[in-house]
Amino acid sequence: QVQLVESGGGTVQAGGSLRLSCAASGRPYSNYAMGWFRQVPGKEREFVSAYRYSGNTYYGDSVKGRFTIARDNAKNTVSLQMNSLKPEDTAVYFCVLGRPILSAIRDRLQYNYWGQGTQVTVSS
Summarize pLDDT for 66-105 with one digit per residue, the tens. Answer: 999 999 888 889 999 999 999 999 999 999 999 888 889 9
pLDDT digits (tens, 9 = 90+) for 31-42: 899 999 999 999
> Distance of CA 116 to CAs 10, 24, 40, 93, 94, Å?
15, 12, 14, 9, 7
Q: Tell whether the model's pLDDT for residue 13 goes beyond 70.
A: yes
Q: Give the integer Cα–Cα distance in Å for 120 and 124.
A: 13
Q: What is the pLDDT of residue 52?
A: 92
Q: Tell whether the model's pLDDT for residue 54 goes beyond 90.
A: no
Q: Give the integer Cα–Cα distance in Å for 103 and 5.
A: 27
Q: Give the integer Cα–Cα distance in Å for 27 and 85.
A: 32
Q: What is the pLDDT of residue 57?
A: 96
